[in-house]
């Protein structure tokens, strides 16, 4: 299967099509509206399921196989803001706060993009390290901390201080936020209960999983669609950044994945993680600690540009790259 076939087959998967339907619903101003609690419920389900499955995989593969690539993933996440921040400052002319905020979002990761990538690999029967959700878990926080410090000017001797109530709340959210807690918690549970545990809860965490993702992407499509109107306001530079950054970071991730010994599937996933931008953990933490950053910039770029780019074109692209690398 070449790149075009891969992209096409990806575009015709129910999950992606439901995302498109959501965008359409938002743009056409339909009265379709998800109940406010459904978004959170689906998030909890997806994070728990992906964490649990990853834990069962760790139980089987052993921690020995996981620590090196996980460390590499974590490092990559923490480093990404270090080059995106100056680019945003110099080329994008963003304020310190805005540049730090955007850098934090792009260094952190998107769980749903990751899940869409595992679905893509499954649909084409491409094996991958199922413990890869451990990378997702460890990549969420570091970039947020680095990005916030950059945005506060801490590296230039600025005013990053733990006595600031916003920073304190933000740090706690970055390290112990619901995303990390559910992912790592469910992972530990999966690792402890192993195959026998999986057998008992498979009918909930595995059987309906892909369908739930499709429903969630319908809602994500509506959320992203409502942000399309903001595209004009964020400016051309950020539009370009929203596509270039995932391309660059995705390639880096794939390379790093190959280098630390991941399979074609695993390297694809690390690429996808690096390419993805957070819209759950990062927005809340950044909003609290960098109040002067305009959330429209980071959220619109992450949700309305990078997320759709990754789930439609990015995933098959990084997969093709991983294949070439392993050939």
Partner 1 sequence: MNLHPMKLVTIICESVLEERVVELLRECGAHGHTAFDVRGSGNQGQRSADMLESGNVKINAIVKPAVSELLLQKLHDDLFKSYAMIAYETDVRVLRPQKF
Q: Is 17 in the site for a copy of itself (CB under 8 A)?
A: yes
Q: Is 48 in the site for a copy of itself (CB under 8 A)?
A: yes
| Tokens encoding 50 | 């992906």
Q: Is 207 in the site for a copy of itself (CB under 8 A)?
A: yes
Q: Is 2 in the site for a copy of itself (CB under 8 A)?
A: no
Q: Is 283 in the site for partner 1 (CB under 8 A)?
A: yes
Picked from Na ion, a copy of itself, partner 1, none, the partner binding residue 88 (CB below 5 to 8 A depending on kind) is none
Q: Is 123 in the site for a copy of itself (CB under 8 A)?
A: yes
Contacts (CB under 5 A) with Na ion, residues 261-280: 276
Helix (H), strand (E), coil (C) string for the chain = CCHHHHHHHHHCCHHHHHHHHHHHHHHCCCCCCCCHHHHHHHHHHHHHHHHHHHHHHHHHHCHHHHHHHHHHHHHHHHHHHHHHHHHHHHCCCCCHHHHHHHHHHHHCCCHHHHHHHHHHHHHCCCCCCHHHHHHHHHHHHHHHHHHHHHHCCHHHCCCCCCCCHHHHHHHHHHHHCHHHHHHHHHHHHHHHHHHHHHHHHHHHHCCCHHHHHHHHHHHHHHHHHHHHHHHHHHHHHHHHHHHHHHHHHHHHHHHHHHHCCCCHHHHHHHHHHHHCCCCCHHHHHHHHHCCCCCHHHHHHHHHHHHHHHHHHHHHHHHHHHHHHHHC
Q: Is 291 in the site for partner 1 (CB under 8 A)?
A: yes
Query: C-beta of 56: minimal distance to Na ion in Å?
Result: 25
Q: Is 222 in the site for partner 1 (CB under 8 A)?
A: yes
Picked from partner 1, Na ion, a copy of itself, none, the partner binding residue 299 (CB below 5 to 8 A depending on kind) is partner 1
Number of residues that bind a copy of itself (CB under 8 A): 61
Q: Is 201 in the site for a copy of itself (CB under 8 A)?
A: yes
Q: Is 219 in the site for partner 1 (CB under 8 A)?
A: yes
Q: Is 299 in the site for partner 1 (CB under 8 A)?
A: yes
Q: Is 14 in the site for a copy of itself (CB under 8 A)?
A: yes
Picked from partner 1, a copy of itself, Na ion, none, the partner binding residue 324 (CB below 5 to 8 A depending on kind) is none
Residues that bind a copy of itself (CB under 8 A): 12-14, 17-18, 21, 24-25, 28-38, 40-41, 44-45, 48, 52, 119, 122-123, 172-173, 176-178, 181-182, 185-186, 188-190, 192-193, 196-197, 200-212, 214-215, 218, 284
């Amino acid at each position: 299967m070449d790149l075009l076939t891969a992209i096409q087959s990806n575009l015709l998967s129910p999950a992606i099509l439901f995302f498109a339907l959501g965008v359409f619903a938002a743009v056409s101003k339909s009265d379709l509206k998800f109940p406010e609690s459904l978004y959170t419920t689906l998030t909890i389900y997806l994070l728990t399921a992906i964490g649990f499955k990853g834990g069962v995989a760790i139980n089987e593969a052993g921690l020995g196989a996981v620590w090196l690539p996980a460390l590499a993933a974590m490092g990559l996440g923490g480093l990404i803001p270090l080059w995106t921040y100056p680019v945003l400052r110099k080329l994008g002319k963003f304020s310190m706060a805005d540049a730090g905020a955007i850098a934090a979002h792009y260094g952190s990761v998107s769980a749903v993009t990751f899940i869409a990538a595992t679905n893509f690999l499954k649909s084409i029967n491409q094996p991958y390290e199922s413990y890869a959700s451990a990378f997702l878990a460890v990549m969420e926080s570091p970039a947020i901390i680095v990005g916030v410090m950059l945005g506060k000017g801490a590296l230039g001797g600025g005013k990053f201080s733990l006595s600031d109530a916003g920073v304190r709340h933000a740090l706690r959210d970055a390290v112990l936020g619901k995303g990390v807690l559910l992912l790592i918690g469910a992972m530990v549970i999966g690792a402890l209960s192993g195959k026998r545990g999986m057998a008992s809860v498979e009918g909930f965490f595995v059987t309906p999983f892909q369908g739930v993702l499709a429903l969630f992407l319908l809602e994500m499509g509506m959320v992203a669609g409502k942000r399309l109107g903001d595209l004009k306001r964020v400016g051309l530079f950020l539009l370009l950044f929203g596509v270039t950054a995932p391309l660059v970071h995705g390639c880096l991730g794939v390379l790093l994945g190959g280098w630390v010994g991941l399979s074609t599937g695993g390297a694809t996933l690390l690429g996808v993680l690096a390419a993805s931008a957070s819209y759950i953990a990062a927005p809340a933490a950044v909003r609290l600690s960098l109040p002067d950053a305009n959330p429209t910039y980071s959220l619109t770029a992450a949700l309305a540009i990078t997320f759709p780019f990754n789930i439609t074109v990015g995933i098959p692209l990084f997969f093709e790259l991983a294949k070439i690398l392993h050939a």
